[in-house]
Amino acid sequence: MAELAFSEAEYRGRQSEFLGQIPSDSLVLIPTNPHANRSNDVHYPFRASSYMLYLCGWNEPGAVLMSHYDSGAWTTSLFVQPRDTKTEIWEGRRVGTEGAASGWPIDEARSLEDLEKTVAEHFEACKQIHLIPGLNPRLDEMVNSAVNSKSRDSNTKDIGPTSLSDPSSILDEMRVRKSDREIQLMQESADIASAAHVATMRAAYADIGEWQVQAVIEGHFTASKSRWSYPTIVGGGDNATILHYNANNAVIAGGELVLVDAGSEVEGYASDITRTWPVNGRFSDAQREIYELVLRAQMAGIEACQAGSPWSAMHHATSNVLAQGLIDLGILDYSLEDALGEDFDGPYRNYFMHGTGHLLGLDVHDVGGGRQGDDGPGRELGPGMVLTVEPGLYFGSWRTDVEIPERYSGIGVRIEDDVLITEGGPVVLTSDCPKTIDEIEALVGSDR
């Protein structure tokens, strides 16, 4: 039997809830990711599609999950790579159809070699096709051809599909609120990432390379039998003011802050933490002023994460603190109302350019909406949602679009935690990762 992340009952429950929203005259096709080529004959490490992981836990490339309605019930089939000794000698053992049939929450296991023939046979009996596109080009081509073709049979005998839709929006909504087991996995991921950040702070010293910081944190992920959930960001000094900096190739000079944005992944579930700290272990007065302001804003944002509150509440809470703090520090010469702007788009945004958070789950920027800039009023926060709270301030000395005060030039600070919404209030899953100034100064360089 397979060692799955969830019970068969939980997978089957997800399938049932999903298919209960699909018309019975439909054929459902959910492909997973293929291998992605890095260069020549070298592939990137494989990571399965989040939809495939969510519905059945399958973690090999190229597979397709198919569901069709027959005799009053849905039947779910999984098409997988068949066993192939010659290929497995080079690339590793496959589960194969026999293994899939005995260990996964499906009704039938079939070989990918039979996919096209089997799918074509099911076209005649369905009126609608629900396909997640873009992952299997040959399947996309077959489906589009079937829907768009005008054969004699389809016109005179009403045979074959006439419409095509993407069912991911149904699955996206299901994935927004996490089950108890999902929360357990996300807590495990958060604990690993928290410990990795602590280890990185302990190992730091002046003139350490950004790449060396990356090595410590990702080494901890590997040692904990996890992987990174997104490429690690390590930005020292001015590099911390670049939101998606990823070169990680500069030396971090004594006296500079370093911003480390890194999370792990366990059974597909992501954590996402950012900490900013002085590489030599002591905040300067200017660094302390900005750090304390961002920390106050983050705490206000976390407190705003209450069940029943609108998504925008945490962004408004952090923005109010940041804007007032920028005024108090003399960085902005405006009233609070003018600094915030009519739609929280005022001049404080020159230094806080991104949203306050995003949903978190099988994807680090998880599905279900809720990000800054989404259309509409935003979703209501509810129990079982997991999201990040991550305000920041950035004063890049290299910027020419705004005035950068000399006192704060080259300072970038972001603080990010993972927060579970509960009826009793927000629960910080990443609370084991220190973030007060006293905690950080006690940690940085303590292993040297």
Regarding whether 280 and 154 lie in a shared domain, the answer is: no
Residue 418 phi/psi, 5-degree rounding, is: -100, 130
Whether 55 and 190 share a structural domain: no
Sign of CA dihedral 4, 7, 12, 13: negative
Residue 114 covered by a domain = yes
Count of beta carbons in the 10 Å neighbourhood of residue 92: 8
Same domain, 169 and 189: no
CB 270 within 8 A of CB 252: no
Q: How many domains does the chain have?
A: 2
Indicate which residue of 191, 416, 418, 441 is catalytic.
416
Do 152 and 196 sit in the same domain of this protein? no
Residue 416 annotated as catalytic: yes
The verdict on residue 2 lying in a domain is no
Is 386 domain-assigned? yes
Segment 52-64, tens digit of pLDDT? 999 999 999 999 9
Q: What is the number of alpha carbons within 13 Å of residue 318 lying toward its C-beta?
A: 30
C-alpha pair distances (Å), 316 with each of 234, 263, 328, 389: 28, 26, 18, 12
Q: pLDDT of 208-242, one tens digit each?
A: 999 999 999 999 999 999 999 999 999 999 999 99
The residue with greater pLDDT, 1 or 184, is: 184
Q: Which of 175, 265, 414, 418 is catalytic?
A: 414
Mark which of 158, 174, 190 sits at the end of a domain.
Answer: 174
| Structural domain of 100 | 8-174
Which of 128, 145, 174 lies at the terminal end of a domain, its last residue?
174
Has 358 been annotated as catalytic?
Answer: yes
- Residue 117 within a domain: yes
Known catalytic residue at 41:
yes
Any catalytic annotation for residue 343?
A: no
84 in catalytic set: no
Selected catalytic residue, list 269, 351, 394, 408 = 394
b/e map of 255-275 (b: 16 or more CB within 10 Å)?
Answer: ebbbbbbbbbbbbbbbbbbbb
- For 410, the token pair is 């080259």
Concerning whether 366 is annotated as a catalytic residue, the answer is no
In a domain, 448, yes or no: no
Q: What is the pLDDT of residue 156?
A: 54
Rounded to an integer, the average pLDDT of 160-180 is 96
**What per-residue confidence (pLDDT) applies to 8?**
96
- 38 has catalytic annotation: no
Q: Are residues 137 and 194 in the same domain?
A: no
Whether residue 98 lies in the annotated active site? no
Q: How far apart are CA 226 and CA 264, in angstroms?
A: 6
Predicted confidence at residue 13, as pLDDT, reads: 98
- Whether residues 165 and 196 fall in one domain: no
Q: What is the pLDDT of residue 1?
A: 47
Q: Which residues contact 221 (CB under 8 A, 6 or more apart)?
A: 192, 193, 196, 227, 228, 264
- The answer to whether position 303 is within a domain reads yes
Asked if residue 276 belongs to a domain, the reply is yes
Active site (annotated) includes residue 414 = yes
Question: What mean pLDDT comes out for the span 124-152?
Answer: 90
The predicted structure's pLDDT at residue 151: 55
Residues 150 and 222 in one domain: no
Residue 378 — very low, low, confident or very high, per pLDDT cuts 50/70/90? confident
User: Does the annotation mark 114 as catalytic?
Assistant: no
Inform me whether the pLDDT recorded for 154 exceeds 60: no
> What does the pLDDT average to over 117-140?
95
- Cα 434 to Cα 437: distance, rounded to the nearest angstrom: 9
Please state the separation of Cα 48 from the chain's center in Å.
Answer: 14
**Pair (274, 370) in one structural domain:** yes
Of 390, 417, 418, 441, the catalytic one is 390
The predicted structure's pLDDT at residue 370: 79
Do residues 312 and 260 share a domain?
yes
* Residue of 358, 408, 417, 441 marked active site: 358
Asked if pLDDT for residue 152 goes beyond 50, the answer is no
The residue-averaged pLDDT of 6-22 equals 98
319 shares a domain with 288: yes
How far is residue 415's CA from residue 413's CA, in Å, rounded to a whole number?
7
Q: What is the mean pLDDT of the chain?
A: 95
Which of 174, 207, 241 is the last residue in one of the domains? Answer: 174
CATH number of the domain at 33, please. Answer: 3.40.350.10
Q: Is 365 a catalytic residue?
A: yes
Which position among 188, 191, 238, 272 bears the catalytic label?
272
Residue 171 binned pLDDT confidence (cut-offs 50, 70, 90): very high
Catalytic residue among 12, 349, 354, 407: 354
How much is the pTM? 0.95
Answer whether residue 232 is part of any domain.
yes
Same domain, 437 and 310: yes
Domain shared by 160 and 203, yes or no = no
CATH of the domain at 368: 3.90.230.10
